[in-house]
Amino acid sequence: MHSGVYIKVASVSVAVLMLVSAAVVLTYANQVPGQERVFQAGHPASLVSPSPQGKAEQVMSYLHSRGIPGRYVYLPNFDSKPHYSGAGIIGPSYTSAPAPFGIGAYGVSNSTTGVLHAFNVTTGSIAATVNMSSLSDLYVYDDGPTSITLQLNAVLDNVALFGDANYSFWTQNVMFYSARTHSLLFLDNLWNFSSSSFTFTRNSLYSFDGHPIAPVFYYDIGPSFSLSYPFSVTAYLNTSLTDGRSTVYYNYSVTSGGTTVSGSYDEIQFNSTPVQNPNYVAPSPTYLISGNTLTPTGFIPYDAEIIVGGPGGGSTANVNAINATMQLKYLNSAKEYASFNSTYDVGSETGETSQGIAVAWNPSTESAMLSAGPSFVYGMWGINNGAKMNSYAGTVAPSNSFLFASPGRTFSLSNAAQVPLALSGKFNFSIPLSTLSFEALLSDYEPSMLTAAGGSAGVGLSITLSHDSSMGIYTPLYAFNNQQVANISSGGNGTSSSPYVLVNNPSPTGVSSIFGEANDYFFNSYYGVLLSNVTVHTEIVGLPLLNVSYTGFNALLAGFYGLPLQNYMGTVIYDSSNISIVSGTFSGWFSSTLTEFPVANLLLWNSVKVTVKDNYFFTMDSSMLVYDNHTVAGHNIISGNVFYQDPALSRLNFGPIDVSTNFASAFSNPVGLTVYSSHNTVYDNVFDVYVTAISPNYSIYSGNGVAYADSWNYGHTGNYWWNFNGSIFNGDRLIPFDRGFTRTYNNNGLITSGYDLYPSPIPGAHPAGLVTP
């Protein structure tokens, strides 16, 4: 490297400090009006007696340390709050999207007088059937971007342990489905709901087929299937006694291509028999659905639910298109499966969520019908009796605009839900709401509003936005194919000689707060930029920080977690190529509940031939992550970028945003660059972040060991590392440190995909506000 670059490094540091000082003043939920407060947050909740969010962090951190992927962990809704309707009537805990949408039975019904009343159902078997005709989804901040789960969940009551039949366990029969590979995997979870501690003990089980992970939970991996549309799947939760012991079975039936396969993949016998009484016979365990009794956790309802959720770990699923039906049944006293006589369109027990699903129902068949549309929480048959399903259909142009709908004749941001659009800009859904107000919006276009009644008046709607570059970037910039890129570009035609150039003029008011949305574990619903399935030549030049505020419920949620009320939205390049990202600014934080998930301010996933050059990264958590199959040559170039640790970070205020992207890592600190990909070139970058770069020797997607191979220098040009201890530049030559002379760099083994053969130190530099393990 030549000495001129050192001048560049010095000037960059000054510029970074100036920009950071202006950029990281964020507002908190408990801030006094008019008082600025530098980015900080309180300690995470005690793990000895954790609050709900502390419990989730405790659970996920422990399981990751045991090498268990998030896709095998289906968290309870630790953040649940009992929601009462009337005198002691327990309804859904979720009130808005994202939520676990599908069918939920709560033991609540609507009498002929319109008054809700509670009742109990006990049964030895619950069954859920899903008929899937099509599905398209994408959420990249989990390790299954095009995957969802279909979860059958219910609480098994009256379970006997050591002669005491007062225990409750949450049973989950989960179907993990990938819309990309058309594969379906069965797996189950078992959690102890007998108290608010959720403590699971190994000796509570007598026999099993899976894996007890004390003190957290139990899981088992079942059979997998390759399916073609349409397919039908039925999941069962069954219980009985086996030799006097409480027992639960996980069964299934799958029909695809005219063939049906059925079976049972897990049998769990509880340790019911006390040592002092070997002839003890436990009472029959039962599934309980109750409209007036909470589980012994003290806050989670006794419901039964079949829902669409994210692929584990409290994640969410963003559904773009779906055509499916659902049924939820129980085994009645006549030993026949019957539908629950009253239901809602949402569950409450699970922490995984979804959005973009409009739920209608057919009262004669007591089945739910799922389509792409706005997700609202409401009662279905037995609750919202006599409701009429109202159709809404139309077209929005440009086709990659964002469309939101809220109930009533006046658009309400706090009650709005997104309406997914097809690639053509069309939408078509049915819900039991008679009037909706719509708002369509897109950066560099004037927003447009429309109110419509359902039925014939709600069909044939048309919204065309007018271009207005003075609006700036007030929405995210999304493109799901080559044609949509032009709608968010200021010039070019997509060729190598004239690439599209994305708009980069910031809005004076920032990104609309309607995009400041997250689920209960603070998986953000939106990115700042998303290019998916884009192959035309595209440049993202001078992208500014895209600031978004959390308001309403999302502000309350941020305050609950001790998080700021603003954030900077990330950029995702998914399954794309020929993209250049130049001279931009990236920053932002992630909740510590996302630890070990593939999150970053700039995320390249299954993408090749992407150039990332001359950008500034102000690292709060994870600045940049690259993932691809290790057999794929990425040919991505990462050059001339500055990764600078946010000076506001310190060990004392880092907890709530403490995210690691290194699976089962022993540390969790700010990370500059993470690479799970091969044949990429990384050179001439400045790494002034505590964890400069990592490249593990396994796949973040599967957890399997792989060998990546990358170039961490280009010719004689390597990178600048704050912690390089091999040599130092003294003006005209390199001389060794006293600690010894080492000419290569791999961050003490954290980079397994290669070495920087020509590394250099950053004179006098160390990460600002150093966060140490």
Backbone angles phi, psi at 290, to 5 degrees: -135, 135
Say if residues 142 and 597 touch (Cβ distance below 8 Å).
yes
Give yes or no for a contact between 79 and 54, defined as CB atoms under 8 angstroms apart.
no
- Beta-carbon neighbour count of residue 742 at 10 Å? 13
Cis, peptide link before residue 363, omega less than 30° from 0:
no
pLDDT at residue 648, rounded to an integer: 67
Whole-number percent of the chain with pLDDT over 70: 86
Q: What is the mean pLDDT of the chain?
A: 88
pLDDT for res 766: 67
Taking residues 44-55, what's their average pLDDT?
Answer: 46
pLDDT digits (tens, 9 = 90+) for 209-263: 999 999 999 999 999 999 999 999 999 999 999 999 999 999 999 999 999 999 9
Question: pLDDT tens digits, residue range 434-490?
Answer: 999 999 999 999 999 999 999 887 889 999 999 999 999 999 999 999 999 999 999
Count CB atoms within 10 A of the CB of residue 716: 10
Q: Which residues pair with 422 in a beta bridge?
A: none
Greatest alpha-carbon pair distance for the chain in Å reads 91
Which residue from 364, 393, 388, 365 is spatially nearest to 378, judged by alpha carbons? 388
pLDDT tier at 58 (50, 70, 90 boundaries)? Answer: confident
Q: What is the mean pLDDT of residues 689-693?
A: 91
What pLDDT is recorded for position 60? 86
Per-position DSSP letters for 283-309, written without gaps between them: PPPEEEEEEEEE-TTSSSEE-EEEEEE
SS (H, E, C) 521-569: CCCECCCCEEEECCCCCEEEECCCCCEEECCHHHHHHHHHHCCECEEEC
Q: What is the pTM of this model?
A: 0.91
Residues facing residue 110 across a β-bridge: 116
Q: What is the DSSP letter of 32?
A: P
Q: Tell me how far apart the alpha carbons of residues 260 and 351 are, in angstroms, rounded to a whole number.
A: 31
How do the residues of the chain divide into helix, strand and coil, expressed in percent and rounded to 5? 10, 45, 45
**751 pairs with which residues across the strands?**
695
Check pLDDT > 60 for residue 650. no
Residues 700, 595 contacting (CB under 8 angstroms):
no
CA separation for the pair 212, 64 (Å, rounded): 15
CA dihedral (675, 678, 680, 684) positive or negative: positive
Q: Counting beta carbons within 10 angstroms of the beta carbon of residue 323, is it exposed (0 to 12), middle (13 to 18) or buried (19 or more)?
A: middle
Residue with tokens 């954290």: 750
pLDDT of 205 over the 60 cut: yes
Q: How far is C-alpha 235 from the geometric centre of its chain's CA atoms? A: 24
- Please say whether the beta carbons of 704 and 742 come within 8 A: no
Residues 668-700: b if buried by 16+ CB within 10 A, e if exposed: bbbbbbbbbbbbbbbbbbbbbbbbbbbbbebbb
Question: Strand 245-256 and strand 231-242: pairing?
Answer: antiparallel
Q: Give the tens place of pLDDT for each residue, 91-106.
A: 999 999 999 999 999 9
Position of tokens 């050591």?
A: 162
pLDDT grade, residue 565 (50/70/90)? very high
Strand partners, 289: 121
pLDDT of 12 higher than 50: no
What is the C-alpha separation between 347 and 97, in angstroms, rounded? 12
Query: What's the whole-number mean pLDDT along residues 485-504?
Result: 98
Question: Which of 17-31, 336-350, 679-693 comes out lowest in average pLDDT?
Answer: 17-31
3-state secondary structure of 75: coil
Alpha carbons within 13 A on the beta-carbon side of 585? 15
pLDDT in tens, 124-136: 999 999 999 999 9
Closest by Cα among 354, 361, 350, 292 to 324: 361
Is the pLDDT score of 5 beyond 50? no
Q: Degrees (nearest 5) of the Cα angle 224, 225, 227?
A: 150
Cβ-based neighbours of 529, under 8 Å, separated by 6 or more: 476, 477, 478, 502, 540, 543, 546, 569, 570, 571, 572
Residue 296 CB: number of other CB atoms within 10 A?
16
pLDDT score at 690: 86
Place of tokens 């309804």: 91
> Within 10 Å of residue 747's Cβ, how many Cβ atoms?
21
